Amino acid sequence: MRTISMREAINEALHQEMERDKKVFVLGEDVGKMGGDFGITKGLWNRFGAERVRDTPLSEAAILGVANGAAFAGFRPVAEIMFADFITECFDQLVNYSAKAHYMFAGQLKAPLVVRTATGAGFRAAYHHSQNIESWFLNVPGMTIVAPATPYDAKGLLISAIRDDNPVIYLEHKLLYDLKGEVPEESYEIPIGSAEVKRKGNHVTLVSSMRMVHLSLKVAQKLSQQGIEVEVIDMRTLMPIDRETLFASVAKTGRLITVFESARTGGYGSEISAILGEELFEFLQAPMKRVAAYDVPVPFAPSLEDYILPDEKKIEEAVRETV
């Protein structure tokens, strides 16, 4: 199978879905001729024209307002918010309109829109361009959150997201854009709400997403040489949560560590821990642990940015303490 980057996998998914369905269109800042700030929409403007690849003003609220209206009218917009930090500018549109439309109108109205956005730290982009927003929408009923860690998952999950009738936040970690992996040329879907066991083990379960999956796998490989077998789960879809995969793993290992890049307090790891504590307490052989970013803004200084983020050393220490 051919090998391509995550950037190319996302771009290919957009091309194939726009070819398949004329109701799919892309909008956002500089997504047209420029091809997007990260090059994700490259070639779409030349292939589909300005009608279906629309450059917008510098207004996230306007982008989502148009996307909502188009989705309610039967189109399938894919809106790009250049940096996830500025999704706050359209929070009202997403929370009070996109997520609630189907419920408010008793199923007569759908909101089949996708919001693609670049998230995550390690890019040396300081406070307003480095936040990981994976937990911001957890408390919003009706919102789907997708967070791929590999090029294969990125393509399949985006295709599924575009075809889904619910609003989807599609998170792309900046440091994974150049990651390469095997991706089929043909179109394919990965079911939303399906986690994947990336590595099997029987001593402790590590649950993670996006870039943290790769750090977790490195730690698991290292500890395996010392007799500690770590099971690594990539959530892939943060909401809805694949409880079945989580329950099966933790019932087997009896230990849980969550590894997520967002701030520790109120983070995704806290929700996973709460679910497992409620449902599988009798299986636990040790206290659950959370490895997450410190509760501070992402610093500008590279040394400080690295200090506040989860890394392999912190993950390994958590595993050793747990087992």
Q: Which residues does the annotation mark as catalytic? A: 129
Rounded to an integer, what distance in angstroms lies between the CA atom of residue 281 and that of residue 250?
10
CA 319 – CA 310 distance, rounded (Å): 13
Q: Is 191 exposed, middle or buried (0-12, 13-18, 19+ CB in 10 A)?
A: exposed
What span, in angstroms and rounded, lies between the C-alpha atoms of 62 and 312? 40
Rounded distance, CA 54 to CA 241, Å? 33
Q: What would the 3-class secondary structure string for 236-261 be?
A: CEEECCCHHHHHHHHHHHCCEEEEEE
Q: Are strands 256-263 and 204-208 parallel, antiparallel or unpaired?
A: parallel
Do 122 and 283 touch, CB atoms closer than 8 A? Answer: no
Cis amide bond preceding 167, omega within 30: no
| Residue pointed to by tokens 């009070």 | 96
Amino acid present at 262? S
